[in-house]
A = this chain, B = another copy of it.
Amino acid sequence: MLSKNKIKQIQSLNRKKIRDESGLFLVEGNKMVEESLRSGFIIETLICTSEFIQAHPEIRMRAQEIIETDSELIHKASLLQNPQDSLAIVRMPDTTNPTENFENELILALDFIQDPGNLGTILRIADWFGIHNVICSENTVDVYNPKVVQASMGAIFRVKTKYTQLDDFLNRAKDSGIPVYGTFLEGENIYSEKLTRNGILILGNEGNGISESAAKFVTQKLFIPSFSSEPNQPESLNVAIAAAICCSEFRRR
């Protein structure tokens, strides 16, 4: 049975402090729980209905603890508006890999992305376009925020994220001669620019774009041109939309 204490633990994972201290995060909704079962992540606790267990026999091998309960109690524990038949408490992977080598791949660097939906969507885009590493500035929203996990649609189990001091990271990249891309109003038309197969693409904050301190390290400024003929031109694209168009341009060539 699902104890009151367990429900308390589940709900406490909505708070970053608790997640950081415990190294655990919450996965909600059947599709996302199925993704966690297929992933290499350690599932500490799986809370689900008996029907869900029957439909997923691999659960017994994957989850360290299984709590069988009814939908009603899952609804009580869940942070979702429309909870389903399962939720999982999952251990964050270790990201303290000492040797990084980003020279030959395209990676994304997130400069103060604030909105959980945007971060989740950006991970989903990275996943689609075969981008394995996403570097996040320390002020970017936490990737284990339940809304990010949800919006990622499983990408969180495949795309590696690392929080770091972004300027230091970009500085090291520049020193290694890795191209650093970013979109700016005064940039070059992305459709006609030569783009490398490797490099770092910086995505800036929703309201303010790429910060001045990160912009210093950009070696190639890009611009997604607008095709609007209206007298009141649209000002900008949403950051996830811009990310999608940029990734599409890097990959199609």
Binding site for B on A (CB under 8 A): 35, 38-39, 117, 121, 124-125, 127-130, 153-155, 157-158, 191, 224, 226-230, 232, 234-238, 240-241, 244-245, 248-249, 251-252
Contact = CB atoms under 8 A, between A and B. Distances in A.
Contacts of A252: 191
Given A245-B245, A245-B248, A158 B232 contact: yes
Contacts of A154: 232, 234-235
A167 B38 CA distance: 39
Contact of A241 (B157, B244, B249): B244
A249 B191 CA distance: 10
Contacts of A224: 128, 248
B227 A129 contact: yes
Given A244-B241, A245-B244, A252-B191, A234 B128 contact: yes
A168 B20 CA distance: 54
A12 B230 CA distance: 32
B129 A226 contact: yes
Contacts of A251: 227
B121 A241 contact: yes
A235 B235 CA distance: 32
A128 B129 CA distance: 23
Contacts of A130: 226-229
A232 B121 contact: no
B232 A39 contact: yes
A235 to B, nearest CB: 7
A150 to B, nearest CB: 12
Nearest to A191: B252
Given A121-B238, A241-B240, A127 B157 contact: no
A158 B127 contact: no
B241 A129 contact: no
